[in-house]
Structure formats: structure tokens, C-alpha cells
Amino acid sequence: MRGAQGEGGTRAGSAAGPVTIVVRDPSHLDAHRPDFLVSLETALEWARSWLEESPRREGEERLERRAPRTVGLTGLALLHPWSRRDFWARRVGRRIPSHLVVGRKHPTRWLCVWGAWRDPGTFELHTLYPGRAAPREIHDPTIDPGDLPAALRFWTRHAIVVVPGEWEAPQE
């Protein structure tokens, strides 16, 4: 994998400046692996090239870009009051509950890249997934309290589309 690995990372460059992607939690990235239709390495390479164009190079950064071809399957449903079939549960491999709805995912060329700059040449990747950017989930222990009102507004109207087997049964 060129341009992204675990803690060590690798370097690759372009005219805008080289970027090393360091994956903060590989298990979080692996949780999205089934939704990718391209290799994770290809998606990371696209992410690296977009990050190299970033003028920010400090603080948190969230990008959503259209990839050259279909990236994977996405599912974020806008919920309507008259047809609510949503529920809260932990997705498999996750520690926090998410707002979910059973449905069909659809192909997308959008790719969301989310993380923070450690320094101008090192990007610590929090997550990478097919689809548009969404705010942190409301149960995320790292959510900034100032971001909570917007996250609440978003996650009361939206849910992550899942298929059977993608969430854990409630524990009694």
C-alpha cells in the first residue's frame, strides 16, 4: 500500500507536497471494508492525492470528493415521520450505538475522508468510507460539545442503512 499504512505510514509525493497517512484505528477502517467495491488501498491512494492538495495542513479535516469511478455502497436514509422503522443499536465491531434503519445500500462515487493533521506532512486518518460526509454520531465520546446540537438535528432525521447481520442484538 503506497501512501497509507498503520502507525509507521509511508511517504509518497506530488507537486503540492507529500502526505503520509497514518491510520489511527485499523479496526474502524476494517468495519467499512465490506462497503468498498474498490480495494481499500485504491481508496486510500485517492484520499492521499486529495490531501496533498489541501491548503489547511492543520487541525481536523473532513473531505468528501467524487472518485474517478464507483467507490462502494452507501446508505444514509432521510427519515420521514410517517414511515419510521429506525432503531438504535451497535453496529458489529463498534462500541457506541448508531441510528439505524434496515434497507438497501446504493453504489456511490463519493468518498469521505476524515481525520486530523499531526503536522503539515502527516495526516492521522479517523475514518474513510463510501458516501457523503455526516457529523459525528451523538454517542461518540470524542464529539465536541459545541458540535452536539448540529449532530442531534442531523441524526434525528437520518439513519445509517444496514442489512441484517450488520448490528448486534441488544444485551439483556
Q: How much is the pTM? A: 0.79
Q: What is the pLDDT, as a whole number, of residue 138?
A: 95
Three-state secondary structure readout of the chain: CCCEECCCCCCECCCCCCEEEEECCHHHHHHHHHHECCCHHHHHHHHHHHHHCCCCCCEEEEEEEECCCCCEEECEEECCHHHCCCEEEEECCCCCEEEEEECCCEEECEEEEEEEEEECCEEEEEEEEECCCCCCCCCCCCCCHHHHHHHHHHHHHEEEEECCCCECCCCC
11 pLDDT more than 80: no
Question: What distance in Å separates the CA atoms of residue 19 and residue 124, rounded to the nearest whole number?
Answer: 10
Q: Which amino acid is at 79?
A: L
Query: Could you report the per-residue pLDDT of 71-126, keeping only the tens digit for each?
Result: 999 988 889 887 778 999 999 888 899 999 999 999 999 999 999 999 999 999 99
